[in-house]
Structure 1
Amino acid sequence: MRWRHSVIWRFAALVFLMQIACVLLALGAVHQFTGRAVDHASREVAIGLRDDIAATYAAAGLSAAGATVRNRIAADPSGNAVILLLAPDGHRIAGNLDRWPAEVGTAGAWHQVSLHWAGTPQGQRRTIGIVGTRFPDGTRLLTGHAVERDMRFSTYLEAALLGAVLLALPLAAGAAWVSAAIIQRRLRVVIDTAAAVETGAMDQRIALNDSGDMFDALGTAINAMLDRITGLVGELRLVTDGLAHDLRSPLTRMRAVLEQALSQSRDEAAIAALERALDEGDTLLRMLDAALSISRAEAGIGRDSFAPVDVAALLYDFQEMYGAVAEERNISIRVDADPGLLIRSHREIFGQVLSNLIDNALKYGGDVITLSARCDGARIIIQVADNGPGIAQERRMEALRRFARLDASRHITGAGLGLSLAAAVARLHDGELTLGDATPGLCVTLAIPALETIEGALTA
C-alpha cells in the first residue's frame, strides 16, 4: 500500500474531495435557499390575505369580511388558498375549513401544518403555511396558502442536484486523474534526466517550457547543478590524467633504479630489502591503476568503447589464464556458463573486474572457485564463488568501500580496491554488484543488462 503515501496520490485525492465538497455545498445551499424561498412566498400570500380581509372587517364589518372570504376562495381555482373566519361566539362565517386547527394559535405566529379542507380530495391532506389572528371583539381569522406544490418543485430540484452529484463523481475522479497525470508527466522529465545522468550521459538537461512555474524553477536549478557537476567531472578527468602521468613516471623510474640496484647487489640482506621495495612499488602501481580505473568508471569514461562480449568465452579464458596459479595452490577453478550470453562491455575493463574477483578468491577463498553465468530475464547474472570463510553479512557493505581491508586479510598483500572497482564497473554497465553467501564461502554476483535488452531500448 505504498501508493497511499504518494504525494501525487494525495494531491489527486484532495482534488477529488474538493470537487465533491463543492458540489455538496452547492446542493446544501440550494436546499436552504429553495426552502426559505418557498416559506417566504407562502407567508407573504397568507399575510396578504389576512391584511386584506382585516381591512375589510375594520371598514365594513363582519358580513363584508365574510363576503370577501368567499370571493377570495372563489377567485382561487387552484384551491391553494385556505381561509376560515369565525364569529366571536365561534360559529363559522365563511371559509373552506370546517374547524380551527388545534395546533394553530391566534397570536399571528407562522405555522406549517398538514390539513384537509374543502376542494381537497377525500382523505387527502396537504401541507399549508398558515397564520391565525384574533380581532379585539373576539373574531378569529385564519389565512394560509398551500406550499405542497412549491415543496414538490424543491424536491425535484434537489433530486436533480443529487443526480448532478452522482454525475460529478466520475467527473471529479477524471479531473483528479488528469491533474495527477500532468504532475507525473512533468516530474517524469526530471526523473528521466536524472536517470540518464546517473548512467553517465552528463550532457542531458531538463527541457524547460518557459512557463515560470515551480517545475520550471526546479528544472532550472537542477540544470545549473548538472552544469556544475559536469564541470567538476571534467576537472576530475584532467586531475586524474595528470596524476596518472605525474605519478606513474617517477614510480616507473624508481622501479628501474631498484631493479638495477638488485642486479648489482651481492649482499643477501640488501637483495631481500630491494625485493621487498620492488614488491611495494608494484603494489603502489597497482593501487594507482585501480584507483584511476574506479574514478574513470564512476565518471562514465569508457562507455563509448563498449562492444558485444561473449560472457562464457570470457570465463573460460580466465579459467585457463589462472589455471596454473590455482594448480600450484591446490585450488580448482570451475566454469558453469550458458553459451550465447552477450553483454555490451569493454573486454579489458570487464576482464580487470573478473581478474580482481578471481585474485580475491585465490587469496581468501577455499580450494574451489566457481565461475558461472546465466540469463535471468533481461539481465545476465555472472558469479564468482568460493568455499572459503566468506564475509559476515554485517561487514559486506564495509568490504565494498575503497581501501577497505577486513581484519582477517590485513596480513595479505593488497590495496582493498578489488571489490570497489567491481562495483564501479557494474554501475558503469547499468548493473549492480552484490555480495552473498555461497554456503560456505563468498559469492560475488554481477547483474548486467543483456545485449538484446540494451539494443531493444536503443531501438525504441
Structure 2
Amino acid sequence: MRWRHSVIWRFAALVFLMQIACVLLALGAVHQFTSRSVDQASREVAVALRDDIAATYAAAGIDAAGATVRARIAGDPAGTSVMLLIGPDGRRIAGNLAAWPAGIGWAESWRQIDLARSGQKPRELQTMGIVSTRFPDGTRLLTGHVVENDLRFGGYLEAALIGAVLLAIPLAGGAALLSAAIIRGRLRSIIDTADAVGTGDMQRRILLSGSDDMFDALGEEINAMLDRITALVDEMRLVTDGLAHDLRSPLTRMRAVLDNALRQSRDEEAIAALAKALDEGDTLLRMLDAALLISRAEAGIGRDNFVAVDVAALLRDFQDMYGALAEDRGVTIRVDAADGLLIRSHREIFGQVLSNLIDNALKYGGDMITLSAWRDGDAVCVTVTDNGPGIAEERRIEALRRFARLDASRHIAGAGLGLSLAAAVAHLHGGTLTLGDAAPGLRVTLTLPADTAQSPPLA
C-alpha cells in the first residue's frame, strides 16, 4: 500500500501512538497511585489498632486490652475494623472473629485474606487486610481493616480507566488525522503552485500563512526562485522575439532578392542554384517560425486564445487538405474519430502540430496514415499513426529534442522540430505527448484535457 510509505501518514501514526502512549502512562500512574494510597491507608488503620491495643496490654494487662478491643468494635458502627485477642491458653478474650483464621501466622506484617466476622448476618466472606502480633506470654492479637469497598472502588477505577483509554483512541485518531490534514493542506498549496507553474502559469505563487514557520520559509524560497525563473523566461522571450524579428527581415529580403534574380536569369545552372538557395531560405524561415513557436508554447503563451475545437472535424479537414499530396505519394490517410470530442485549444497552433506530424508521417512512414481520436476519462487522445519503420524505443527521447535528426532521416529535408513542437504544444495544453510502437510504424499520441464547457466548437 502506498500510504505505508507516506511520510504524512507515518507522521500521523506517530502522533496517534504518542498520544495513546501518553494516555496509558498517565492513567497507569493514576491507577498505581490510587491503589497504593488505598492499600497504604488500610494498612495504617490496622497497624494503628495493633499499636493502641498492644500499648494497653503492656500498660494494664490482658483484661484491659480486651476491654479496649470491645470498645473499638463498639465505636465502629460501619464495621470496617477487624480485631481478635486470644489469650495464652488459646481462649478467645475479645474480638469480632470467631476464631484465629487458619493459615495466619503469629507475626504477619500485612496480608489480605477473605474472612467472615462473627455476629454478621448473613455471614459472608469479606476481603480484609490484617496484621498479627504475639506477645511474650503467648497472647496473640490480630487487627485489620475491611478492604472490600476499597477493592470495589479499585475495580470501578480500572473500568473508568479502560473507558478513558477507549475514548482516547478515537480522539487520538482524530487528532492524528487533523495533524496530517493540516500538513497535507500546507503541502498541497506548494504542489498546486508547482503544478500550475509546470503547465505555464508563471505568475502563480505560494500563499503564505504569516506564521513564519518552516512551511512559510519554504514558500518564500520557492516564490523567490519562481520570481527569478520568471525574470529569466521574460528575458529569454525578449531575446527570442528580438532575434526572430531581426532574422526574419534580412531573410525575407534575401528571399525577395533571390526570387527576383531567379525571374531575371536565363542561365539554367544559375536558375538551379537560385532555386536551391530559395528552398534553403524557406527552410530557414520555417525553422525560425517553428523554434519561436516552441519557445512561446513552452512559456505558456497562447492560452488566452484557447477556444473549443471539434477534434474529429479538424482531423477530417487535414485529411482533405493532405489528400491530394498523399495520393501522389501513394499514401492513404484514414480518419477514425467519433464526433463530439472537444478540447480547448489554440486552433492555429494545434493545427500546426497536426500538420507537422502528418508531414513526418508522409516523409518517414509507409503507405498508410491513420488520424484517430477518442475519449479517455477527462482527456481526449489524438494520434497520428503510420506503418513505416518507426523509431526505436531507446531513441524516442532523443527524437523529441530540438533539431534532432535521426540517422535514417538525415538525407530528407527538414528542421528536426516537428516532434519538439508537438511536445511543447502538448505542454501548453496541460497534456502530454508519447511516442509508441504501431507494430509496424510510429504512433504519436497527444493526450489533452477534454473541454467540458458548452461553448460552440470550431472545426
Residue 241 of structure 1 is matched in structure 2 by 241
Percent identity among equivalent residues? 76
Which deviations, in whole Å up to 9, do the C-alpha atoms of 1:406-441 show, x marking residues without a partner?
333233222222111101101111222122232322
Q: Give the whole-Å Cα distance in 2 for the aligned partners of 1:180 and 1:322.
A: 56
Residue 291 of structure 1 is matched in structure 2 by 291
Match of 1:27 in 2: 27
One-letter amino acid matched to 1:81: S
Scaled by the length of structure 1, what TM-score is found?
Answer: 0.91
How far did 1:233 drift? 1.4
Paired AA for residue 351 in structure 1: G
**What's the offset of the Cα at 1:156?**
0.8
Cα deviation, 1:133-187, whole Å, max 9, x if unaligned, reads 2223332211111111011112112212212222222222222232222223333
1:372-422 Cα shifts (integer Å, max 9, x gaps): 223334322211111112223333233222233333323322222211110
1:375 aligns with 2:362: no
The Cα shift of 1:330 comes to: 0.8
Moved more, 34-43 or 397-406: 397-406
Distance 1:107 1:180 in 2: 61
How far apart in 2 are the matches of 1:123 and 1:402?
102
- Residue 272 (structure 1) shift: 5.3
Q: How many positions carry a matched residue from both structures?
A: 455
- d(CA) in 2 for partners of 1:121, 1:276: 127
Residue aligning to 1:453 = 452
Higher mean C-alpha displacement, 43-52 vs 381-390: 381-390
Given the two structures, how large is their TM-score scaled by the length of structure 2? 0.91
Residue matched to 1:73: 73
Return the alpha-carbon distance in structure 1 between the equivalents of residues 133 and 268 of structure 2: 136
Partner of 2:316: 316
1:226-237 alignment to 2 at 5 Å? Answer: 226-237=226-237
User: What are the Cα deviations for residues 221-240 of structure 1, in whole angstroms up to 9, with x where unaligned?
Assistant: 22222211211111111011
Q: Could you tell me which residue of structure 1 aligns to residue 13 of structure 2?
A: 13
Q: Which amino acid aligns with 1:181?
A: A
Q: Tell me the CA shift for residue 119 of structure 1.
A: 4.0
Give me the whole-angstrom Cα distance separating, in 1, the residues matched to 2:282 and 2:116.
115
What is the CA deviation profile of residues 191-243 of structure 1, one whole-angstrom value per residue up to 9, with x for unaligned ones?
33223323322222222232222222222222222211211111111011112
Equivalents in 1 of 2:33, 2:410: separation in Å?
A: 86
1:98 aligned partner: 98
SS class of match (2:294): helix
1:30-429 correspondence to structure 2 within 5 Å: 30-107=30-107, 109-120=109-120, 124-256=124-256, 258-259=258-259, 275-429=275-429
Q: Which amino acid aligns with 2:240?
A: T
Residues in 1 aligned to 2:103 and 2:415: alpha-carbon distance in whole angstroms: 102
Contact 1:27 1:158 in 2 (8 A): no
CA distance in 2, matches of 1:119, 1:401: 104
Residue 76 of structure 1 deviates from its aligned partner by: 1.9
Q: Deviations over 1:283-306 (max 9, x none)?
A: 333322222211110100111122
Please say if residues 117 and 123 of structure 2, whose CA atoms lie closer than 8 Å, have aligned partners that are also in contact. no
After superposition, the C-alpha distances for 1:306-357 in whole angstroms (9 at most, x for unaligned) are 2232323322222222222212211111222323433222222111101110
Assess, with a 3 A threshold, how the Cα gap between structure 1 residues 91 and 267 changes in structure 2: closer, same or farther. Answer: farther
Q: Secondary structure at 2:133's aligned position in 1?
A: strand
Distance 1:387 1:120, change over 3 A: farther
**8 Å CA contact 1:109, 1:132 repeated in 2:** yes
Contact 1:104 1:131 in 2 (8 A): no
Letter in 2 for 1:326: A
1:446 deviation in Å? 1.4
- The 1:299/1:44 distance shift into structure 2, 3 A limit, reads same
Tell me how far apart the structure 1 counterparts of residues 280 and 119 of structure 2 sit (CA, whole Å): 120
Whether contact under 8 Å (2:333, 2:369) holds in the other structure is: yes
Change in 2 beyond 3 A, CA 1:120/1:187 = farther
In structure 1, how many angstroms separate the alpha carbons of the residues matched to 2:351 and 2:135? 115
Give, in whole Å, the separation in 2 of the partners of 1:119 and 1:267. Answer: 145
| Counterpart-to-counterpart distance in 1, 2:291 and 2:121 | 103
* Residues 79, 119 of structure 1: 8 Å contact kept: no
Give the superposition deviation at 1:282: 3.3
Q: Distance in 1 between matches of 2:162 and 2:120?
A: 32
Aligned to 1:403, what secondary structure does the other structure show?
A: coil
Note the residue ranges of structure 2 that are not aligned, 5 or more in a row. Answer: none
Q: 2:40 is matched by which residue type in structure 1?
A: H
Aligned mates of 2:158, 2:96 — CA distance in 1: 32
Structure 2 residue identity aligned to 1:249: S
Change (3 A) 1:37 1:275: same
Tell me the alpha carbon deviations over residues 110-148 of structure 1, each in whole angstroms, 9 at most, x when there is no partner.
222222332455663222111122223332211111111
CA–CA distance in 1 between the matches of 2:193 and 2:394?
A: 34
In structure 2, distance between residues paired with 1:432 and 1:109: 85
* Counterpart amino acid of residue 173 in structure 2: A
Is the CA contact 1:382–1:446 (under 8 Å) kept in the aligned structure 2?
yes
Q: Is the deviation greater in 417-426 or in 247-256?
A: 247-256
Structure 1: distance between partners of 2:82 and 2:425:
95
Query: In the superposition, relative to structure 1, how do residues 398 and 45 fare at CA in structure 2: closer, same or farther (>3 Å)?
Result: same
Q: What RMSD over aligned residues (CA atoms) do the two structures have, in Å?
A: 2.5
SS class of match (2:206): coil
1:348 and 1:53 map into 2 onto residues whose CA distance is 111
* Matches of 1:111 and 1:382, distance apart in 2: 88
In 1: Cα distance, 2:193 partner to 2:179 partner: 22
Maintained 8 Å contact 1:110/1:129:
yes
The answer to which of 42-51 and 9-18 deviates more is 9-18
C-alpha displacement at 1:359, in angstroms?
0.8
| Maintained 8 Å contact 1:435/1:442 | yes
| Residue 444 in structure 1 maps to residue 444 in structure 2 | yes
- Counterpart Cα distance in 2 of 1:239 and 1:233: 10
